[in-house]
Amino acid sequence: MMTLKSAGDGAQLSAYHVTPFGEKKGGLVLVQEIFGVTDHIKDLCDGFAADGYEVVAPSLYDREEVGFQATYSDEDIARSLKLQQATGYDHVKGDIQAAINFLHTRKNLRVHITGYCYGGSV
């Protein structure tokens, strides 16, 4: 895990960061599902790193609940949706930009972005 400073409001947020296994092909911002930066998201990041990408997955709900991770239960889905709404897209844009900015400092990486569930909307 690493810490990023949002490019929007300057808030501190954690992010899962993994460097590529072998030759670098580029950078990748992987945007979480509504469930947070879970083991599933970390596994996806590790898979992209195995393919040669340096990956950053910012924890987008850290303003509301640091390190939030949820299950797929109805109760956790409801909690996740409340956090997503409380965070808002304006903060998320700055958080994603912070991840992009970090990757741009890493030997001129070409940066890509992908997301799952909520992250696909982002």
Per-residue model confidence as pLDDT tens digits over 31-49 = 999 999 999 999 999 999 9
The DSSP H or E segment spanning 86 is helix 74-104
* Tokens encoding 65: 């609940």
- β-partners of residue 26 are 53
The answer to whether residue 108 scores a pLDDT higher than 80 is no
> CA 30 to CA 16: how far, in whole Å?
9
Question: What are the pLDDT digits (tens) for 45-102?
Answer: 999 999 999 999 999 999 999 999 999 999 999 999 999 999 999 999 999 999 999 9
- What is the per-residue pLDDT for 63? 95
pTM above 0.85, yes or no: yes
Residue whose C-alpha is closest to residue 12's, from 55, 53, 67 = 67
The answer to whether residue 24 scores a pLDDT higher than 80 is yes
Mean pLDDT of the chain: 95
